[in-house]
Structure formats: structure tokens, C-alpha cells
């Protein structure tokens, strides 16, 4: 019952299940679990109810009291209190260089549990394919501003204080390596005093997919050579990424059906 109601609410807002999960700070795989019959926890149900302006009982398909309109109004107000306007920067350098209002290209509304967390967050539009297929050209990354991250984390770094990169960062006793997801790009290694050229400026907390851009891995009828490359790229995806890919395919198929 929950999944049917959830899908109906998503359609009313003209949003996909994965985009709603992203806005609420949930993993994209949550939508797949709900589709397969899992029911969200109480705290998750409250966040979803707030987002759509309905009651938890409504989400669960329980009979509604006559004052349901008042309930919807109350939840809408609560949702607005937890939604913040976050700036979007065109590049890493613009987002973490000398801050200027003209470096901001747009804003996006995102859900946060606290105002302090929202103030330490920016969004950056990614350019290039070095992190493909995890991050594609045109995707947005949600970044929490901080000067250190754990080993292997997906981080935003500045090289020599100028070149901004989004990479998985790995530390050694006297070295740092920056790794791309795309196997066509070799790791960037910095040894000895060169490690001082690297400055961590943020942790990537969320990837907001640009579903309107062409996704190579779902393009129709790839050539024989491209099929080999396609299989190689899919092979490096982990389980969560494969589920996320499946969600995007389902979303695009449904969108195409509506357009027909």
C-alpha cells in the first residue's frame, strides 16, 4: 500500500522516486527496497509525509479524519522549515576560491535536518568524465565544506590552490593519490613535499543526477565496439550503483511512456 501511495504522490509532484529520495537525503536504493515491499521506519515516514504535505496515516493507507486538509497544511509548513536554498557553483574553483555572488549560477532547494548543516553545504556542477559512470558531465554534487576526509572518501580538492578536482583520495605514509572512477584515467600521485600541493576543501555527500542529459549506458543500439566498453563500465559498478542505474532506467522508461 505504501509504495502505491508513494508513487502516486511522486507523479503529482512530477518527480521520480529516486529524486525524492535524493531531496530527502536518502540513498537512491531506498526506493528500490520500498518497491520490493519494505516499509520505511517511523522517522523516514515522517520526513516523506512532510515532503508531500500529507499525514503518516495517509502514506500507510489508513482512514483519514475529516480535518485532513488542516493536517496537510501543518505538514507543508514543517517541510518548508527544513528546506534550504543552496547555491550552485559552475566549478570547484568558483565554489572554493574567493567567494563572490557572481560565481553562483543558480540555487536548488534541499532538505537538511539543521540550519548549521545547510550553511556548510554548497552544490557544484561537475564537468568532464573522469568520475564516469558514478558522476557524469553536468551532474551536481552536494558538498559539505571541511578540510579533511577519511581515506578513500569522495572529496573535493584543490591542487596548487587553483585546479579543482573531484576524486577519491587515498593516503599513504608519505604520499597522496587521487583516483578517478573512469578506468581511462590514471591515478594522480603526490610524493614527499608534493603532498602539500593538495588541499581538501569538502566531502561529497550526495550526487544529484542530471536525468535530462544523455546517458551513454542506456543509449539505443550501441555498436559492437561500444558494447564491449559498455560491459566493462557496468562491470566496475557496485551493487548500490547498479540498483541506482536500474531506478534511472525505470524512470526514463516511464517518462517516455507519458510522452507517447
Determine the average pLDDT of the residues in 7-22. 85
- Distance of alpha carbon 171 from alpha carbon 174, whole angstroms: 8
pLDDT above 60: residue 80: no
Identify the weakest region by mean pLDDT among 49-58, 68-77, 126-135, 232-241. 68-77
pLDDT score recorded for residue 241: 63
Determine the average pLDDT of the residues in 191-207. 93
Q: What is the DSSP string of 135-162?
A: S-TT-EEEEEE-S---TT-EEEEEETTT
In this structure, the dihedral spanned by the alpha carbons of residues 23, 26, 32 and 33, taken in order and rounded to 10 degrees, is -140
pLDDT above 90: residue 134: no
102 vs 56: which has the higher pLDDT: 56
Determine the average pLDDT of the residues in 100-114. 75
Determine the average pLDDT of the residues in 179-200. 93
121 vs 79: which has the higher pLDDT: 121
- Distance of alpha carbon 158 from alpha carbon 96, whole angstroms: 9
Q: Tell me, what DSSP letter sits at residue 222?
A: -
Q: What is this structure's pTM?
A: 0.52
pLDDT score recorded for residue 234: 58
pLDDT score recorded for residue 37: 84
SS3 13: coil
127 vs 245: which has the higher pLDDT: 127
pLDDT score recorded for residue 108: 85
171 vs 127: which has the higher pLDDT: 171
- Distance of alpha carbon 95 from alpha carbon 109, whole angstroms: 17
Among the listed residues 91, 123, 96, 119, the one whose alpha carbon sits nearest the alpha carbon of residue 22: 123
What pLDDT, in 10s, does the model give residues 20-35?
888 888 887 888 888 8
Percent pLDDT > 90 in the chain is 22
- Distance of alpha carbon 3 from alpha carbon 62, whole angstroms: 14
Angle of CA points 88, 207, 229, to nearest 5°: 125
Amino acid at each position: 500500500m505504501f509504495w502505491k501511495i508513494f508513487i502516486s504522490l511522486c507523479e503529482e509532484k512530477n518527480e521520480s522516486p529516486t529524486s525524492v529520495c535524493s531531496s530527502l537525503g536518502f540513498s537512491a536504493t531506498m526506493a528500490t527496497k520500498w518497491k520490493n515491499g519494505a516499509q520505511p521506519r517511523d522517522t523516514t515516514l515522517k520526513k516523506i509525509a512532510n515532503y508531500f504535505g500529507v499525514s503518516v496515516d495517509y502514506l500507510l493507507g489508513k482512514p483519514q479524519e475529516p480535518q485532513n486538509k488542516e493536517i496537510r497544511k501543518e505538514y507543508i509548513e514543517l517541510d518548508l522549515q527544513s528546506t534550504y536554498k543552496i547555491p550552485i557553483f559552475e566549478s570547484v574553483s568558483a565554489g572554493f576560491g574567493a567567494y563572490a555572488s557572481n560565481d553562483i549560477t543558480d540555487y536548488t532547494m534541499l532538505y537538511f535536518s539543521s540550519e548549521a548543516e545547510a550553511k556548510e553545504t554548497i552544490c557544484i556542477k561537475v564537468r568532464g568524465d573522469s568520475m564516469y559512470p558514478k558522476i557524469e558531465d553536468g551532474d551536481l554534487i552536494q558538498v559539505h565544506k571541511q578540510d579533511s576526509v577519511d581515506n578513500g572518501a569522495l572529496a573535493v580538492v584543490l591542487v596548487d590552490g587553483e585546479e579543482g578536482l573531484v576524486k577519491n583520495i587515498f593516503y599513504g605514509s608519505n604520499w597522496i593519490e587521487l583516483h578517478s572512477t573512469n578506468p581511462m584515467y590514471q591515478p594522480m600521485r603526490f610524493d614527499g613535499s608534493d603532498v602539500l600541493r593538495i588541499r581538501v576543501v569538502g566531502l561529497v555527500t550526495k550526487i544529484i543526477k542530471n536525468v535530462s542529459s544523455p546517458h551513454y549506458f542506456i543509449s539505443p543500439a550501441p555498436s559492437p565496439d561500444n558494447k564491449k566498453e559498455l560491459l566493462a563500465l557496468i562491470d566496475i559498478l557496485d551493487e548500490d550503483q547498479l540498483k541506482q542505474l536500474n531506478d534511472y532506467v525505470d524512470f526514463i522508461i516511464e517518462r517516455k511512456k507519458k510522452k507517447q
